[in-house]
Amino acid sequence: MSLLLNGFLSVLLVLGLHIGPSQANTSTIPAIAARAWILVDPASGQALAAEKADEQVEPASLTKLMTAYIVFAALRDRGLTLSQVVPVSEKAWRAGGSKMFIELRKPVTVDELITGMIVQSGNDACIALAEVIAGTEENFAQLMNREAQRLGMKNSSFTNASGLPDSKHFSTARDLALLASALIRDFPQEYEKYYRIKEYRYNNITQRNRNRLLWLDPNVDGVKTGHTENAGYCLIASAKRGQRRLLSVVLGTSSDSVRAQEAQKLLNVGFQQWDTVRLYEKSKPVGRLEIWKGASRQLPTGVAQDLSLSVPKGQAERVRAELVSQQPLVAPIAAGQRVGTIRVTLDEKPLAEFPAIAMESVAAAGMFGRAWDSMRLWFK
């Protein structure tokens, strides 16, 4: 059916799908002993519950998630290889804080540096990786900020690769959840390989991963801890139970044990109070849209990736999904081009929106077909 919207003719297709997400009522969440926190479904990007999630804080070593993201991208783009030997600068060697203890003139590979950065939280490893990618840590920080903007991290700024304190170096719980979700989504093999490692030995020194939940919960497979005097004890933790993954961010807790306890509490509540339901598969059409001036009259429309949403228990039947496309939709249309929006509501209240894309290309019609549709549009 059709309706008039803001002066344009829009098509609203009711899909009859009774699934979808809902924002949590924070009254159902137990008290969390952290300065700021958020619980998210990384598959859909939903924030299930949060407190002070947009408050700018010092991210400490959670910064290393952005460093890892850029390193993994360089490996993907073949700018680096895992076996590549990296020269150790004096700046990297002298790095303060947590270290993996690399040494001047001692060969170290990209793979070793990545492991030392993630498991041992090595600031020296971060600097060495930053320098091999960008020449200097300062140049690397520019890459970090550029990537943050691309990922939609609106309240973050980076000045170094390790998370050492700086007044211009900050982030938020929401932005850090966005970053961790992107890392898991975009680099699943690297995430699986490195972030579940419990300890690592380098230069005859064995250090344990500071993420206590790797020992306490077999479903937890990452991601990163952080601590400075100003930041307090911080933890981003992710757990997968069956096909469901949830991610919690707790910032500014009072101790190592408290950050693990509060992160675990959020994950448990998430798994207990929500179900994750698949909305659409990327290979299957969501619906068909009318095309004007095209070689075809109908356009199969779908999604770029599998879509799933977290649904509060007992509310699935009250959710609806709709495909909305601004009309007229005029050929030519390229496969993959965004042609509409999938809107999900609960009790007629907006919950989420996802882009709908063309599943195939539609070429422009011949001269007569275009002229005929132009006349039809004029009357319509």
Inter-CA distances, 2 with 8, 12, 173, 326, Å = 11, 6, 41, 10
- Contacts of residue 273, defined as CB under 8 A and 6 or more positions apart, other chains included, come to 24, 28, 312, 313
Catalytic residue among 61, 162, 238, 248: 61
For residues 15 and 116, what is the distance between their CA atoms, to the nearest angstrom? 49
Cβ 133 vs Cβ 124: under 8 Å: no
Cβ 176 vs Cβ 196: under 8 Å: no
Question: Is 61 an annotated catalytic residue?
Answer: yes
Q: The sheet that has 220-228: what strands, in order across it?
A: 46-51, 36-41, 244-253, 232-241, 220-228
For residues 165 and 179, what is the distance between their CA atoms, to the nearest angstrom? 19
Catalytic residue among 44, 121, 248, 310: 121
Cβ 356 vs Cβ 286: under 8 Å: yes
Catalytic residue among 22, 44, 64, 265: 64
Cβ 320 vs Cβ 20: under 8 Å: yes
Q: In terms of C-beta distances under 8 Å and separation of at least 24 residues, what long-range contacts does 302-306 make, across chains too?
A: 302/356, 302/357, 302/359, 303/342, 303/354, 303/355, 303/356, 303/357, 304/336, 304/355, 304/357, 306/278, 306/280, 306/281, 306/282
71, 80, 158, 83: which is closest to 118 by C-alpha?
71
Question: Is 64 an annotated catalytic residue?
Answer: yes
| φ/ψ (deg, to 5) at 51 | -145, 125
Rounded to a whole number, what is the distance in angstroms from the first to the last CA of the chain? 14
Q: Name the token pair of 247.
A: 């991610």
CB atoms within 10 A of CB 142: 13
**Angle made by CA atoms 187, 189, 191, in degrees to the nearest 5:** 65
Catalytic site residues? 61, 64, 121
